[in-house]
Amino acid sequence: MSHTVTITDNKTGKQLECPVHEGTYGDPVIDTSALNKELGMFTIDPGFGITASCRSSITYLDGEKGILLHRGYPIEQLAGQSTYLEVCYLLLYGELPTETEYDQFRAELNERNMVHEHLERFYSGYRYDAHPMAMMIGVTGALSSYYHEAMDLDDPLDRDLTAKRIIAKMPIMAAHCYKHSVGHPFVYSRDDLAYVENFLNMMFSVPMRDYEPSAIAVKALDLMLILHADHEQNASTSTVRLAGSAEANPFACITAGIVTLWGRAHGGANEAVLNMLGEIGDIKNIPQFIARAKDKEDSFRLMGFGHRVYKNFDPRAIIIRKACHDLLEAVDTVDQPLLDIAMALEEIALKDDYFIERKLYPNVDFYSGIILKALGIPTSMYTVMFSLARSVGWISQWLEMMEDPDFRIGRPRQLYIGAEKRDYVPIDKR
C-alpha cells in the first residue's frame, strides 16, 4: 500500500479510508473491498473500464504509450527474436527457457500431440459449412469429457499437464476444423516438425503429398501467434478466469474463452476486417465507408479500428503492419489490391477528425487477416487462428488465478432498476 484515498458519503457524512496499491507499472488501484461493509454501497463500472479484477504478473500494457510487455519483455523484442513456443513457456512459467528447458518443454508437448480418435466423431456431427469457430467451441468443450485421471484442480502437476495438453492439442483441433470444412482426411500431428510447421502440415498436406511451407510463411505465422499470445484481462481472458473461478473444468473454461473471442468486437474482428475490405472493393469507395462509420444512425464500424486500452497506437499493429509489407515483397500470394485498400483506408481514417478525436487507430486485427490470407488460410479460420494463439494466454492466466491466495469465485454485483416488490396476480385477474 502506498497511501489511502478517503471516500466520503455526502449524505451521511460517513467516511472510508481505502488503501491504494501500486503495481510495478501503471496507474495505482483503489481497494474498495470494504466499501459495502463500511458505507453500505457497491461501485458500478459498466464494461469494467476502470476496474482491476485481479493482481497479475503476466502481461502489462500501457495504452497511452503503446507498450506491451510479457513477463517484462517488450513485445517488439519477443516478436523480433523469439518463437511462439518460447513465448508460451515464458507466459506459463515466468522466465525464458534455457535450451534444456526448451527441449524438455517441446518433448512434453510432443507427448500430448494427439487427440482421442473418438474426437473425429464430434466433427462429423457438423455440416461441412459450419463456421470453424462453432466447431472449435464444440470440440474444445468435448475435451472436458476426457482426462479425468489428471483433473485434480488442487494438484499443481495436474494443472500443468492440462496447460500442456491445451497448447499441444489446439493446433490439431484447429486444423481438423479446416479439414472437415473442405472434406479432406484429417492429418496426424508429427513429432519431427516444429510447432508452426506441424500446424501448416496438418492444414495443407493431403494424402498425395506433404506440404512444405516456405521459411517466410513459417516466420510470418509464428509472428502472428506471438502477437496474439496474451493481452492481459481482455473479454475472453476475463471469461476464462470467471468460469475458472467457479472451479469449472479447465477445458470448458478455455471453451468459454473461445466463445467470447468469436465476437466481432473482439477476436471476430480479424475476419470482419477482411470481409469489410472485400466489401469496400476499391479505394474510390473508401470515403463512403468512412462516412458510414461516422454516422451514429448506422451501426457500421471500421473493423480493425479502435481499442479499449490503446489510445495512441497498438504496438502489435506496428509490428504486423511491417510484416505484411515484408511478406508482400517476398511472396506473390499477398492480395495486393486488398493490402492497397487497407493502406489507403488507414491513411484516410488517420487524418479524419472523427478518428483523431476518439483516438481510434488500427489494431492488430486490421493486419493479421492480410498475413493469414497470404498463407492460404481461409477467412472463416482467422478467429480460430486467434484462439489457437491466445490459448496459452488463457491457460497461463487460469494457472495464475488458481495459485492466487486471493482466489475466490467471481461474483459481480448490480444496481437493480427493476419493478418494486408487488403481489402475484392470478392469470384470470390480469
The set of catalytic residues is 307, 365
Q: Which residue number, 303 or 318, has a Cβ lying nearer to ligand CMC?
A: 303
Q: In this chain, which stretch among 158-166, 210-218, 301-309, 407-415 interacts with ligand CMC, using CB under 6 A?
A: 301-309
E strand residue ranges, 264-391:
none
* Binds ligand CMC (CB under 6 A): choice among 308, 337, 347, 376: 308
Q: In this chain, which stretch among 85-93, 200-208, 260-268, 281-289 interacts with ligand CMC, using CB under 6 A?
A: 260-268
Closest residue by Cα to residue 254 from 389, 394, 360: 394
Q: Which residue number, 276 or 374, has a Cβ lying nearer to ligand CMC?
A: 276
Query: Does residue 233 touch ligand CMC according to CB under 6 A?
Result: no
Contact partners, residue 174, CB within 8 Å, separation at least 6: 132, 136, 199, 381, 384, 385, 387, 388
Query: Does residue 232 touch ligand CMC according to CB under 6 A?
Result: no
Residue type, 139: V
Q: Which residue number, 179 or 307, has a Cβ lying nearer to ligand CMC?
A: 307
Contact partners, residue 82, CB within 8 Å, separation at least 6: 90, 96, 226
CB of 348 to ligand CMC, least distance (A): 13
Query: Does residue 21 touch ligand CMC according to CB under 6 A?
Result: no
CB of 21 to ligand CMC, least distance (A): 24
Query: Does residue 365 touch ligand CMC according to CB under 6 A?
Result: yes
Q: Which residue number, 44 or 265, has a Cβ lying nearer to ligand CMC?
A: 265
**Which three-class secondary structure state does DSSP give residue 81?**
helix
Residue nearest to ligand CMC (CB): 306
CB of 268 to ligand CMC, least distance (A): 8
Question: Which pairs from 186-190 meet CB under 8 Å and 24+ separation?
Answer: 186/120, 186/123, 188/114, 189/113, 189/114, 190/113
The sheet carrying 3-8 orders its strands as 3-8, 15-21, 29-30
* Binds ligand CMC (CB under 6 A): choice among 84, 262, 305, 361: 305
Contact partners, residue 344, CB within 8 Å, separation at least 6: 283, 286
As given in the structure block, the three cell numbers for residue 236 are: 475472453
Instruction: Specify whether the CB–CB gap between 132 and 261 falls below 8 A.
Output: no
Site for ligand CMC in 377-416 (CB under 6 A): none
Determine the size of the site formed for ligand CMC (CB under 6 A): 20
CB of 350 to ligand CMC, least distance (A): 13
Q: In this chain, which stretch among 89-97, 244-252, 358-366, 392-400 interacts with ligand CMC, using CB under 6 A?
A: 358-366
As given in the structure block, the three cell numbers for residue 8 are: 466520503
Closest residue by Cα to residue 360 from 425, 293, 271: 293
Q: In this chain, which stretch among 13-21, 28-36, 97-105, 304-312 interacts with ligand CMC, using CB under 6 A?
A: 304-312
* Binds ligand CMC (CB under 6 A): choice among 241, 307, 321, 373: 307
Instruction: Specify whether the CB–CB gap between 108 and 268 falls below 8 A.
Output: no
d(CA 208, CA 410): 51
Q: Which residue number, 132 or 306, has a Cβ lying nearer to ligand CMC?
A: 306
Site residues (CB under 6 A) for ligand CMC? Answer: 47, 234, 265-267, 269, 293, 301-308, 358, 360, 363-365
